[in-house]
Amino acid sequence: KGEETVYGISPHARFKGDGHIVYPDLGNNGVFHSNRGFATIEGVEEYELLMLASKKNKAAAKALAMKLAPSFNNFNDDADLLENLRIELFELCES
């Protein structure tokens, strides 16, 4: 009814964060990628790297993952730690 659709984080949402992977870009017949979309891509890449590292050294790969997230509800969100662990993960994959 003439209302413009607003995309983004709703203050009334029961979850916090970006609710969509992509948003429509009607003007260009495409999509805009959301922060959630980028985080999903990075998570899939990290999972694949962990699987590759596990083939080389399962114990080392698990120990590396446990440094960041010992359990579903217990994780570290320190960006510097995450970057250092990503470097260690790449090094483990290369060994």
pLDDT at 4: 46
pLDDT at 89: 92
pLDDT at 7: 53
Each residue's pLDDT tens digit, 45-56: 989 999 999 999
Q: Residue 8's closest CA among 35, 28, 29?
A: 35
Which sign, positive or negative, has the C-alpha torsion 71, 77, 87, 47? positive
Q: Which parts of the chain sit beneath pLDDT 70? A: 1-18
The pTM of the full predicted model, rounded to 2 decimals, is: 0.66
